[in-house]
Structure 1
Amino acid sequence: MQSVSYKRTEFLLIFIILPVSFVLDYPFLVKAFLAVVGFLYVIYILVKVEGNKFKIAPNLQWKPFWTAVLLKFIIIAILTMGYMFLTARSDLFHILYQKPKLWVVILFAYAMFSVYPQELIYRTLYFQRYASLFDSKALLVVVNAIVFSMAHLFYRNPLVLVMTFLGGILFALTYNETKSTLLVTIEHTLYGCWLFTVGMGHMLGFPD
């Protein structure tokens, strides 16, 4: 399981073939089954092969993390509010006004059942297991953003692909610097919840 050929085949199946297959027209239950089996395989690899203990590192650098994330968040907030104001003003913050209880539920469910699994796959697994397959850190980060964007192909929305590519760059840089699944999950949750809050959730599969 540690050979280069095995890792390359594994990478191809997890990050290319499976996401692309979800764009094809076949039963949802089959897609769900493949997704669950794939995720269970990822957990097995992380625990049994890569030796992860899923413990919070005691030396996390919280202050520089929050300083960087809040600066990026302000930029994202300004850009997305401007986009919504210009393109869909009636949807701007509509979920807060119309369905605040749903807003709270979705934020929690999104963080626990969407963001954390994504970060285990696209950051923890990716960087721990496949970093040796790349010649440079820059290429490692860019490919990570590409495959993360490909995970959202089933939305069939070019804007979503652009947004997730840019998000993938940010998350990859954070993980590459901190080596912390917790920190990158917090960052991912913050940006994703903001997109839902500002009114862009329908593009990313949020019920509204």
Structure 2
Amino acid sequence: MQNLMTSTRYRLVELFVLFVLVPVSLVLSIGIRTKIAIGLIGFMYILIVMAGVERIKIHIKKGIDWKRFWRLTFMKFVGIAVITSLYLLAMQPEDLFNVIKNDYRVWLLFLAVYAFLSVYPQELIYRTFFFKRYQDLFKNQNLFVFVNAGLFSLAHLFFQNTLVMFITFVGGLLFALTFQRTKSTFLVSIEHALYGGWLYTVGYGAMLGFPV
């Protein structure tokens, strides 16, 4: 059974089902309970494969180059902050920092919940699991990163918003490159939480389905 589950054909089918069919199913006209069930079954399957097949152990990697990480992350964060602020200022100025102005307590609570219950599971699936499980299926690693980012964007298809798809694709590229360089779920989760938290803070919360 294990040999079957590690075969190239099996993993290609698995990748298509988990990362294409499941996200697409969430925009179909089916009941919400069915959608939740599909999502939960997919997530449980990934956890089982992570533990039983890939033997992935979750721990904070030793020997992290924190100075380099924070330097690169800060430069990217500044660029993201400037671009997203200017766009919102030009297109929807009334939304600028709306969540802080409305209720800062909701803002603080959501940032904490978002980091632990949204960001970390996403990075566990789309970086830790995805890289371990499928990276050797791609001879071209640039293509692999591109595919990872594209499928990460597809996971947000249920928002049915072109801008969200673009933002998550760019984010997917950044996160994939960080994970490719560091091999650290912890670091890429920090980066994801920073960028996602900023988008919520600056005023993209309603578009991303966050409480405002």
TM over 0.5: yes
User: How far has the Cα of 1:63 moved from its partner?
Assistant: 1.0
Question: Which of residues 185, 189, 192 in structure 2 aligns to 1:188?
Answer: 192
Q: Counterpart of 2:50? A: 46
Question: Which of residues 165, 174, 180 in structure 2 aligns to 1:176?
Answer: 180
Indicate yes or no: 2:103 matched with 1:99.
yes
Q: Deviations over 1:144-166 (max 9, x none)?
A: 01100100111010001111111
Runs (4+) off by over 6 Å: none
- Measure, in 2, the Cα distance between the counterparts of 1:25 and 1:103: 32
Indicate yes or no: 2:131 matched with 1:127.
yes
Question: Which of residues 6, 29, 32 in structure 2 aligns to 1:28?
Answer: 32
Q: Counterpart of 1:65? A: 69
Q: Counterpart of 1:112? A: 116
- Measure, in 1, the Cα distance between the counterparts of 2:115 and 2:29: 28
- Structure 2, unmatched stretches of 5+, are none
Structure 2 residue identity aligned to 1:54:
I
Structure 2 residue identity aligned to 1:144:
N
User: How far has the Cα of 1:202 moved from its partner?
Assistant: 1.0
Q: Deviations over 1:91-146 (max 9, x none)?
A: 10011121100001110111111111111111111111100111111001000011
Root-mean-square deviation (CA, aligned residues, Å) is: 0.8
User: How far has the Cα of 1:23 moved from its partner?
Assistant: 1.0
How many residue pairs were aligned?
208
What is the 5 A alignment of 1:156-175?
A: 156-175=160-179
TM-score (normalised: structure 1): 0.98
Indicate yes or no: 2:46 matched with 1:37.
no
Q: Deviations over 1:49-75 (max 9, x none)?
A: 111221111111111111101100000
Structure 2 residue identity aligned to 1:97:
K
- Measure, in 1, the Cα distance between the counterparts of 2:122 and 2:96: 27
- Structure 1, unmatched stretches of 5+, are none
User: How far has the Cα of 1:15 moved from its partner?
Assistant: 0.6
TM-score (normalised: structure 2): 0.96
- Measure, in 2, the Cα distance between the counterparts of 1:60 and 1:47: 24
Corresponding residue SS for 2:87: helix
Percent of aligned positions that are identical: 47
Q: Deviations over 1:67-91 (max 9, x none)?
A: 1011000000000110111111111
